[in-house]
Structure 1
Amino acid sequence: MRETVTTALERNEKAYQVNERTFKSMIQDLTSLLKGLVLVVNVMPVLTGFWLALYFTNASILEYWDVLLITMIGSTLVIAGALALNNWYEVDLDREMERTKNRPTVTGNFSMNAVLTMGIIFTIAGFAFLLFTTVEAVVYAFIGWFTYVVLYTIWSKRKYTLNTMIGAVSGAVTPLMGWTVIAPGYHIVPITLALIIFIWQMPHTFAIAMRRYDDYKRAGVAMLPVVHGFEVTKRQIVVYILCLFPLPFFLGSLGTTFVVIATVMNIIWMVTGIRGLFMKNDIKWANQMFIYSVNYLLILFLLMMAVAW
């Protein structure tokens, strides 16, 4: 009797461990499919735009907590839908690239039909949520989705080095999505936030393209370093960082502390960028630029929310 009970317990424990591994594997696959960090980096400016709109209209979060919830769910689903459709369309490229070879579309953990269905459902559900906010927010969400899925993923990524600039539009509209559920978008603050994200994406993406040069070349993706080389790419990175310098001053209404910290961050990034023009180890420098760019955006947008608390 004891042996039977023990055997049953062992069997249940093994089944639990298998289920736990399966669940963890599914979460990992879903995170990979939706490009976890990319999703977070795109959703955060929506929250920042919303938060600053409350601040500049003297509105209370208590009045709009339900709108915030709907906005964040809707925008997250729309962005997740676009990312899923991107993975569905680019599975042939992902098979050729080291960094994407473990995505569930490549491994077969998710079927292509499942990914396509997921992308469509997420997209429709996201827009359905956003329809409960404002028409302007829906329009910006559609611009971002259409630019990323159609103009970037399907049309330009494989053909033109301008794919980076085209794709940057989709990220740039995210703070406008958050702002316009509270107030009209023709305001210097959300426009400046959109410009910051648009310009930021250029050196950020160029650094990624340098780090993954072999992958992009093998897959035949027309990224700037693949087509025009590292030297041109490094100069372009420095130029775009330089373009960020005036933007904090358009956000002077957030206070001197914000302007000073943002300017110092720009200076550090510029110095790091200029160093790259003279470094021989381009990949090491590209890694530094990538890490700094991610932290730059996170810190900058969290700082905006902090000073507007």
Structure 2
Amino acid sequence: MKNGQLLSETTAGSSSKFLSLLIDIKYLLKGKVLVANVLPVFTAYWLALYFNGEQFIDHWGLFLLTMFGSTLVISGALILNNWYEVDLDRKMVRTQNRPTVNGNFSLKAVLWSGIITSIIGLVFMLFTTLEAAIYSFLGWFVYVVLYTFWTKRKFTLNTIVGSVSGAFTPLIGWAAIAPASHIVPIVFFCILFIWQVPHTFAISIKRLEDYTRAGVPMLPVVYGVDVTIRQIIIYVIALLPFPFFLTTSLGWFFLVFAVFLTIGWIILALKGPRAKDVKKWAQMNLRYSLIYLILLSFAMIILTSPIID
């Protein structure tokens, strides 16, 4: 009886430790951020197959290399971001569960994990195409060096720099199949660049106290919430023209759907100046931005689904 109970307790303890490890990894990789960056890679890869007349079954190995390699590169960048910003994260409420803050992972281990993960990811990408590998490195370099190491702590421009990094993801996916000089990946790049600005501004309003306490020069910290709200409105409106450039490629249904999504976001954004609870409004914008990206990506995939035939 005692032996059985001891075995049960040991198993439960092991399961608990493993679950805790997975939770720590999720926080280290900023789970939602990782998914939001990998999704455009997959979407653009799918689109590239369609527009270049290729079949998925003929490139399943390349698909695995692209997705695995890009995920590792993005993960490596996020890990290095966590390692470098541990002093800021210790001052923020929203980052207290990160293993770099609670001490579950040593900073040395996190640093080497970020370096090794980045290198392995870039090596995998070299087995796809040189162009895809270059885009992967550029996205990593902008995020780690230009954003994390340089602009994040010094300039409100940090949001723009970080947005450039994330916008490389569709170029990575497309370039694994063909040169990314096509109108679709270029417009997708522009959409993602603009999309990330109001998305990030919404986060900075929602977590204003955190950023103020940590001394991070986000736009609402330096210039105030009212200015940031106006910027959100401007950037969301700036998304409106881009679906028109994809009408020839993706059809009228996509145009109507994308414009409808954008108008919905514009209406929500315009409520900002009159919002009684600005943080609640910012949270709604944050959620809508994620829904916007997911639905836009899925629409692109579904409308090119005959590739599976």
Deviation at 1:136, TM superposition (A): 0.5
The AA in structure 2 aligned to 1:7 is K
Deviation at 1:121, TM superposition (A): 1.0
Deviation at 1:277, TM superposition (A): 1.6
Deviation at 1:280, TM superposition (A): 2.5
Pick from 297, 302, 307: which aligns with 2:293?
297
Match of 2:233 in 1: 238
Match of 2:94 in 1: 99
| Structure 1: distance between partners of 2:273 and 2:64 | 45
| Structure 1: distance between partners of 2:217 and 2:271 | 26
| Structure 2: distance between partners of 1:140 and 1:256 | 30
Pick from 137, 140, 148: which aligns with 1:142?
137
| Structure 1: distance between partners of 2:116 and 2:295 | 32
SS at match of 1:301: helix
The AA in structure 2 aligned to 1:269 is W
SS at match of 2:177: coil
Provide the TM-score with structure 1 as the length reference. 0.98
Query: C-alpha deviations, 1:2-38, integer Å up to 9, x for none?
Result: xxxx100000000001000000000000000000000
SS at match of 1:102: coil
Match of 2:176 in 1: 181
Deviation at 1:303, TM superposition (A): 1.0
Query: C-alpha deviations, 1:25-76, integer Å up to 9, x for none?
Result: 0000000000000000000100011000001011100111110000000000
Pick from 198, 201, 209: which aligns with 1:206?
201
| Structure 1: distance between partners of 2:164 and 2:268 | 25
Identity among equivalent pairs (%): 54
1:86 aligns with 2:86: no
Match of 2:161 in 1: 166
The AA in structure 1 aligned to 2:257 is I
Pick from 37, 42, 50: which aligns with 1:47?
42
Structure-to-structure mapping, 1:248-287, within 5 angstroms: 248-252=243-247, 253-287=249-283
| Structure 1: distance between partners of 2:113 and 2:212 | 30
The AA in structure 1 aligned to 2:299 is L
Pick from 106, 117, 125: which aligns with 1:111?
106
Pick from 151, 166, 178: which aligns with 1:156?
151
Match of 1:33 in 2: 28
The AA in structure 2 aligned to 1:138 is A
Match of 1:3 in 2: none
Deviation at 1:102, TM superposition (A): 1.1
Match of 2:224 in 1: 229
Provide the TM-score with structure 2 as the length reference. 0.98
Query: C-alpha deviations, 1:131-165, integer Å up to 9, x for none?
Result: 10111001101110000000000100011000000
Q: How many residues matched?
A: 304
Deviation at 1:278, TM superposition (A): 1.5
The AA in structure 1 aligned to 2:292 is Y
Deviation at 1:187, TM superposition (A): 1.1
The AA in structure 2 aligned to 1:207 is A
Match of 2:12 in 1: 17
Match of 1:190 in 2: 185
| Structure 2: distance between partners of 1:145 and 1:156 | 15
| Structure 1: distance between partners of 2:232 and 2:133 | 32
| Structure 2: distance between partners of 1:285 and 1:184 | 40
| Structure 2: distance between partners of 1:200 and 1:260 | 18
| Structure 2: distance between partners of 1:147 and 1:302 | 27
Deviation at 1:279, TM superposition (A): 1.4
Q: Name stretches of at least 5 consecutive residues in structure 2 with no aligned partner.
A: none
| Structure 1: distance between partners of 2:67 and 2:264 | 32
Runs of 4+ in structure 1 off by over 4 angstroms are none
1:62 aligns with 2:57: yes
Q: Indicate the RMSD between aligned Cα atoms, in angstroms.
A: 0.6
Pick from 111, 115, 118: which aligns with 1:120?
115
SS at match of 2:128: coil
Match of 1:129 in 2: 124
| Structure 2: distance between partners of 1:145 and 1:257 | 34
| Structure 1: distance between partners of 2:298 and 2:33 | 16
